[in-house]
Amino acid sequence: MGYHTNPFPEPKGRPSMGKQQNALAVVNYKGGVGKTTATFFLGAQLAVDHPRSKVLIIDIDAQCSLTTVFGLDPVRESQLGRNIFRLVQPGKPLPDKAKRDLYLRNQRGSRGFPENLYLLPGSFETEDLDVKLAKEDARGTAGFFARCAQVLGLFDDFGAILIDCPPNKMFLTQGMLQAAGHYLVVVIPDKVSVYGVPRLIRWVGEIPFPERPLLAGCLVNRVIRSPSGITQEQMRWVSQLEATLADRDLVGRNRGILGQWPNSNKVCATYGMGRHVRFHLPATFPRRDGPLHGLHLGPNGEAP
């Protein structure tokens, strides 16, 4: 397979207004596959690779795992009220750009965190959003989706925005998928996880075209390597996944599997794990309207 370093081509006729091309939603409604881990490590890696740009990771999961991984106490963050819930909450005014930084957290280089990596914390309250939105009519939900796009728009000068989605199909997940230019599916090479991918892609495919994010590809997580390489069983599921992705409308010319991350508690201790999937951004990165580019990888996830 050859690599190319061109920016992602945008499909003809696709309006870019309202969609954040620098945003990537990390999704799978199957739980525990590594979405949060991937969001954090990829975000950290992007920040390290592009020290002059700002990278934002957003926790939209009511479990607040990403907020915890970022070294914060989700209870306190939820109480502070400067979080994703406050920004997307219907009926509340959206802060202007001058105030948006109040909602972000940064570890200022402590604990080895990149200084240019920012978190928009999660909130336990996002769970209640669906109860409220379920009572709304189509106009109400459309308004909520538009609000999600406005929230991402507050950060359009960031080089990249990675959104850690919860394992559900709820309104906030839908809203962020509609607002983001791209999505990445995290999958474990086993039967249950791989069988779910076509359904997941079909579900995203139901989003009307102008708002539909482009599939960046899949990240295969928790690959068990024996001394002789990936196990036969897992290899089978990786091949199955490749077959599933073969006829998909993927961004760029990748084969759909962007990288394979090993199953290892050690790798989670350092964000070097992000190096297994590389985002190639254009020389002009960041641009205000710059799309998130790249994801061109070798078969084992190495950079070209």
Residues 15-54, one symbol each (x = binds Mg ion by CB under 5 A, - = not), give --------------------xx------------------
Q: Which residue in 57, 98, 210 sits closest to 145, CA to CA?
A: 210
Q: Rule CB under 6 A: which of 117-156 touch ligand ATP?
A: none
Q: What is the DSSP letter of 169?
A: -
Smaller CB separation from Mg ion, 65 or 89 = 65
- Selected from 20, 37, 53, 254, the binder of ligand ATP by CB under 6 A is 37
Can residue 280 be called a binding residue for Mg ion (CB under 5 A)? no
Smaller CB separation from ligand ATP, 77 or 154 = 77
Smaller CB separation from ligand ATP, 61 or 77 = 61
Indicate which of Mg ion, ligand ATP, none lies near residue 7 (CB less than 5 to 8 Å, by partner kind). Answer: none
Helices (H), 50-134: 65-69, 74-80, 84-88, 126-134
Smaller CB separation from ligand ATP, 38 or 149 = 38
Can residue 36 be called a binding residue for ligand ATP (CB under 6 A)? yes
Can residue 260 be called a binding residue for ligand ATP (CB under 6 A)? no
d(CA 182, CA 174): 13
- Selected from 21, 22, 65, 89, the binder of Mg ion by CB under 5 A is 65
- Selected from 65, 78, 126, 173, the binder of ligand ATP by CB under 6 A is 65
Q: Rule CB under 6 A: which of 163-202 touch ligand ATP?
A: 166-167
Can residue 85 be called a binding residue for ligand ATP (CB under 6 A)? no
Give percent helix, percent strand, percent coil of the chain, each to the nearest 5: 40, 15, 45
| Amino acid (1-letter code) at residue 274 | G
To ligand ATP, the closest distance from the beta carbon of 262 in angstroms equals 6
C-beta contacts of 190-193 below 8 A and 24+ residues apart: 190/234, 190/237, 191/237, 192/30, 193/28, 193/30, 193/33, 193/237
- Selected from 9, 11, 15, 31, the binder of ligand ATP by CB under 6 A is 31
Smaller CB separation from Mg ion, 37 or 260 = 37
Full DSSP string of 171-221: HHHHHHHHHEEEEEEEE-SSHHHHHHHHHHHHHHHTS-GGGPPEEEEEEEE
To ligand ATP, the closest distance from the beta carbon of 197 in angstroms equals 14
Residues written for the chain = 304
How many CB atoms sit inside 10 A of residue 6's CB?
12
Indicate which of Mg ion, ligand ATP, none lies near residue 32 (CB less than 5 to 8 Å, by partner kind). Answer: ligand ATP
Can residue 222 be called a binding residue for ligand ATP (CB under 6 A)? yes
d(CA 107, CA 70): 8
Q: Which residue in 295, 218, 248, 243 sits closest to 3, CA to CA?
A: 295
Residues that bind Mg ion (CB under 5 A): 35-36, 65
